[in-house]
Each structure stands twice: as C-alpha cells, then as structure tokens.
Chain A
Amino acid sequence: AQKVTQAQTEISVVEKEDVTLDCVYETRDTTYYLFWYKQPPSGELVFLIRRNSFDEQNEISGRYSWNFQKSTSSFNFTITASQVVDSAVYFCALSEPGYSTLTFGKGTMLLVSP
C-alpha cells in the first residue's frame, strides 16, 4: 500500500525567510510519480510539480525548489524568500503508473506573516 507522510502540521515564518516542507513516502512500486499541490483558502488544489521515480534531479522554478532522494524516500519542497501569498496548505502526493490516482499526505499549513 502507498503512504505519504508530512510530519509538519503547521509552519509559521516571517516574510523573506526560507522554508522547507518535508515529505516522506512509502511504495512497493519501482515506478511511481510524486506531486506537490498548493491549496489556498479558496479550496482549489493547484498543481505545482510532478516528478517520476527515475528522475532524481532536483528542480528549481523561481522561488520554488524540490529535492527528490530515493535513498531516503523523500521529496522535499523549499520556498526561498517566502511571501505572504505563499500562505496555504501544501500537499505531497504519490501516484502509481497508469491510473493516475493520488495518495495524499495530510498536508502542511504554511503561514507567512509580514
């Protein structure tokens, strides 16, 4: 069975601080996909990134970066120079190939104060 653990329930930072959101996953599949979604107060889940299990390269997109390490089954997400607009709940999710169904973690609520 697949499982995603986001141990940080809530993180509070001050604007311009860097923050890292942790994600640890469990799966018996050798091929799998990892995702991060952002859920602002409006409720809609916004797709941020997708990574497949064969691609361990870290990725940077603007202020966002992702560190995928198969050896520790982790897919961590870092926001550099955080902004108030980054305040949201962030979910890490895992998918098996083919059906695209997602197993989500419980989410980490990020609060960025000015």
Chain B
Amino acid sequence: DAGVTQSPTHLIKTRGQQVTLRCSPKSGHDTVSWYQQALGQGPQFIFQYYEEEERQRGNFPDRFSGHQFPNYSSELNVNALLLGDSALYLCASSYEVGLAGGADTQYFGPGTRLTVL
C-alpha cells in the first residue's frame, strides 16, 4: 500500500520564476492538503482540495494556487517566487468523512524542499 508521494524531492529556483509541485495521495484517500514549513517552524496550512475544488484556504496570497485531478492527485503552483517562499512543502492526504463525521487523520508525504535564490 503506497503512502503519500511527492515530486520532486528538491528544487532550486530563482526569484520571479514559477514552480509546480506534485502529490499523489495514499490509496483510498480523496482529500489533499498542502502545508508550507519554514525552517525551524511548524507546518502552515496553505489549502485543501476535495472533489477537484479548493474548499478551504489558509493565509497565503493568490500566488499560491492548486489543482486536484480526477484520480485525486494534486499540484501546488507558486508564481512570482520570493526568497521567503523557500521552505519544505508538505502534502497530506486523508479520507473525507463529511462535516458531521469528524476529522480524519492526515498522512504526510516526504515533502519537496524548495530553495529560491
């Protein structure tokens, strides 16, 4: 049973460029969330996708966008990169239990380390 996978593992970009990160959820999961983890900090929620739509978003600018595909995999896109976007980007998947059903556990991938020069 494959866990959450992310690609690429590492990425180096320069300011102003655009980047796309990819995530495949754990088998049986239909919800994907993205988190940004700066060095020495806890992960910060970026957004969550369910049924191919963004249904919740954290405090991140519109430069951060995403997509979910019919097979539940997801992409995170960041435009006009800033030095401050350098971080570990974590993808987490879970199984939607519905608003009345509680919160299912999120399982994380190994992350993509983005360095912006």
Contact = CB atoms under 8 A, between A and B. Distances in A.
A35 B42 CA distance: 13
A100 B94 contact: yes
7 contacts: A4-B42, A45-B43, A47-B108, A93-B42, A97-B102, A98-B101, A102-B106
A66 interface: no
Interface residues of A, number: 28
Interface of B: 31, 33, 35, 40-45, 48, 55-56, 58, 88, 90, 92, 94, 97-111, 113
A40 B45 CA distance: 20
CB-CB nearest 10 A-B residue pairs = A104-B42, A98-B99, A45-B108, A100-B103, A44-B110, A95-B103, A33-B103, A43-B111, A100-B94, A106-B42
A103 B33 CA distance: 12
Nearest to B112: A43
A91 interface: yes
Interface of A: 4, 31, 33, 35, 37, 42-47, 50, 52, 91, 93, 95-107
A100 B104 contact: yes
A42 B31 contact: no
A47 B93 CA distance: 12
A29 to B, nearest CB: 11
Contacts of A104: 42-44
Contacts of A95: 103
Contact of B110 (A42, A50, A52, A105): A42
